[in-house]
């Protein structure tokens, strides 16, 4: 495995691989790697000759009062993890390399960045769009691997790639969960033991809601109320939002129909946890 911090250097290595006719799979992350990330890596390894993993905690996707400083940074551990997963190239740029002092460009994706998490994290998805555009320009992969756990991020990046004609295929991988159903996340590290015991209620509530819909419930408000009640009764979590939206456009649904994304964000102490489930009606 090669650990690369320099943009020119990674470009050279990738150009060489492409000359050999090798396909490039790309897994962008913010590090603190876990089994969720590993599933993306393994998917890429199965489908490509070369797998590139990037680790970059992107300052432009954190709000002023968010956890940029506290976000876990575990370079040695991540490199070992990536090596075990047989990643070919790990790209580990510094903030200065990605955003030199002279940097002036921004990217704005409308509408689908404004619902769900976007309502509470203004600018977040524009920061994601910017860094992913830059990383795609550097790595020029054939396939970009993303996790369904971050459903809105997937929708925004699909839109970005379509709008800007970026020549990359997007492959969305299922959410990897702990045995008790909690979606794996680097932010789970912030949970106290009590909060960790409570947090699986999020997925239980989502599954329960799916069952309700499959049993015939079509009223959005009822579904949301049911999820909220389960979370409130079984945990100390503070609900930021619970929404039922169209899975493609992320726009709110009055009556439930088509492909419905049920998504939520709940605070457990310092940890803001997100999760979602798709129900096909
Ligand atoms: P992050 O490091 O949290 O920015 O995540 C990097 C990539 O891994 C994103 O595409 C995430 O959606 C994906 N990812 C994070 N957690 C999981 C999980 N539990 N299951 C599947 N993919 C995940």
The reply to whether 131 falls in a domain is yes
Q: Residue with the nearest Cα to atom 5 of ligand 1?
A: 29
Look at residue 254 in the predicted model and tell me its pLDDT.
Answer: 84
The reply to whether 48 falls in a domain is yes
Residue 131: CB within 6 Å of ligand 1? no
Is there a contact between 170 and 28 (Cβ–Cβ < 8 Å)?
no
Q: Domain count of the chain? A: 2
CATH code: domain of residue 95: 3.40.50.620
CATH code: domain of residue 227: 3.30.1300.10
* Same domain membership, residue 123 and residue 59: yes
Per-10-residue mean pLDDT of the chain, 281 residues long, equals 98 98 98 98 98 98 95 97 98 98 98 97 98 98 98 98 98 98 97 98 98 96 98 98 96 94 98 98 93
CA angle, corner 280, sides to 279 and 281, nearest 5? Answer: 110
Residue 54: CB within 6 Å of ligand 1? no
Look at residue 55 in the predicted model and tell me its pLDDT.
Answer: 98
The reply to whether 178 falls in a domain is no
Residue 147: CB within 6 Å of ligand 1? yes
Which position among 34, 37, 124, 233 bears the catalytic label? 37
Q: Domain boundary at 125, 149, 173, which?
A: 173
Distance 160 CA to ligand 1 centre (A): 18
* Same domain membership, residue 70 and residue 204: no
* Same domain membership, residue 138 and residue 235: no
Question: Which ligand 1 atom is nearest residue 32's CA?
Answer: 2
Q: Cα separation of 51 and 48, whole Å? A: 7
Q: Domain boundary at 121, 142, 173, which?
A: 173
Look at residue 150 in the predicted model and tell me its pLDDT.
Answer: 98
* Same domain membership, residue 78 and residue 103: yes
Look at residue 13 in the predicted model and tell me its pLDDT.
Answer: 98
For residue 197, the tally of other CB atoms under 10 A from its CB is 13
Distance 218 CA to ligand 1 centre (A): 30
* Same domain membership, residue 168 and residue 82: yes
For residue 203, the tally of other CB atoms under 10 A from its CB is 19
Which residue range is the domain that position 193 belongs to? 186-276
Question: Which ligand 1 atom is nearest residue 30's CA?
Answer: 2
* Same domain membership, residue 48 and residue 96: yes
Q: Domain boundary at 111, 140, 173, which?
A: 173
The reply to whether 179 falls in a domain is no
Instruction: Specify whether 34 is catalytic.
Output: no
Distance 221 CA to ligand 1 centre (A): 29
Where helices occur in 57-167 by DSSP H, the ranges are 75-84, 95-98, 116-120, 124-139, 151-163
* Same domain membership, residue 230 and residue 108: no
Question: Which ligand 1 atom is nearest residue 184's CA?
Answer: 19
């Amino acid at each position: 495995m090669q650990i690369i911090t320099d943009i020119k250097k990674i470009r050279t290595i990738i150009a060489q691989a492409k000359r050999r006719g090798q396909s490039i799979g790309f897994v962008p992350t913010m590090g603190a790697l876990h089994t969720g990330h590993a599933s993306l890596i393994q998917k890429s390894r199965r489908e490509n000759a070369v797998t590139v993993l990037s680790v970059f905690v992107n300052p432009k996707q954190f709000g002023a009062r968010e956890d940029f400083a506290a976000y876990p940074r575990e370079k040695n551990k991540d490199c070992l993890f990536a090596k075990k997963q047989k990643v070919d190239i790990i790209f580990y740029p510094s903030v200065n390399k990605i955003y030199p002092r002279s940097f002036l460009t921004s990217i704005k994706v409308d509408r689908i960045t404004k619902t769900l998490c976007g309502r509470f994290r203004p600018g977040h998805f524009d920061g994601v769009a910017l860094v992913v555009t830059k990383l795609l320009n550097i790595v020029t992969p054939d396939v970009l691997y993303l996790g369904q756990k971050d459903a809105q991020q997937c929708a925004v990046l699909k839109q970005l790639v379509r709008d800007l004609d970026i020549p990359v295929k997007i492959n969305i991988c299922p959410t990897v969960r702990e045995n008790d159903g909690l979606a794996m996340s680097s932010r789970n590290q912030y949970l106290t033991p009590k909060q960790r015991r409570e947090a699986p209620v999020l997925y239980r509530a989502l599954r329960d809601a799916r069952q309700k819909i499959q049993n015939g419930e079509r009223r959005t408000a009822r579904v949301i109320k049911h999820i909220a009640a389960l979370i409130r009764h079984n945990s100390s979590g503070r609900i930021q939002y619970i929404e039922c939206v169209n899975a493609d456009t992320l726009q709110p649904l009055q009556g439930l129909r088509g492909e419905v994304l049920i998504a939520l964000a709940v605070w457990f102490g310092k940890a803001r946890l997100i999760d979602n489930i798709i129900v096909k009606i």
